[in-house]
Amino acid sequence: GDRIVGFSYPRKATVSTTVARKLSMRNSVVPQSEKPSTGDSRILVFVRLRPMAKREKEGGSRCCVRIVNRRDLYLTEFATEHDYLRLKRVRGRHFTFDASFSDSTTQQEVYSITTAELVEAVLQGRNGSVFCYGATGAGKTYTMLGTVENPGVMVLAIKDLFNKI
């Protein structure tokens, strides 16, 4: 049957994918066109869609997430043939984040939009924190640590810090 991949069905605006949070700072190094809308919030929430694994594709899983734009995504709950209560309806939920990243977004892009500004603020004596939250297998470790070829947010932040001191 059909399986929902990458998300547990949320009740509020939280999802089980990689979500990074950071304190909001001014004087961004991110181009204005890519800068998330911060409003008055000191906490920003980002979501990153991971690619489906080969075994998920081969097992007949379908992607249930569509990124609408740089901030919004749409989650579809698929019904199976044996789910008679939901068979004739497709249920969807809309979520808005400070920024959303597709499965093709590079580690550098994620770092630039979510964390580079925070590194600058830390160097000016401010406090900051970045963390990932999500289900097992959602991509938290990859986003934070990455690989030798594609270093993650934490590695890029440390490199940036040492290059600037």
d(CA 18, CA 36): 17
140 assigned ligand-binding residue: yes
Q: Could you give the 3-state DSSP secondary structure of residue 23? A: strand
Contact call for residues 19 and 45 (beta carbons, < 8 A): yes
Task: Tell me if 20 is assigned to a ligand binding site.
Answer: no
136 annotated ligand binder: yes
Q: Is 134 annotated as a binding residue?
A: yes
User: Is 143 within any annotated ligand binding site?
Assistant: no
Tell me whether residue 135 is annotated as binding: yes
Is 80 annotated as a binding-site member?
Answer: no
Cβ–Cβ under 8 Å, residues 59 and 5: no
Q: Is 17 annotated as a binding residue?
A: no
d(CA 119, CA 163): 11
Binding residues for ATP are 134-141
Binding residues are 134-141
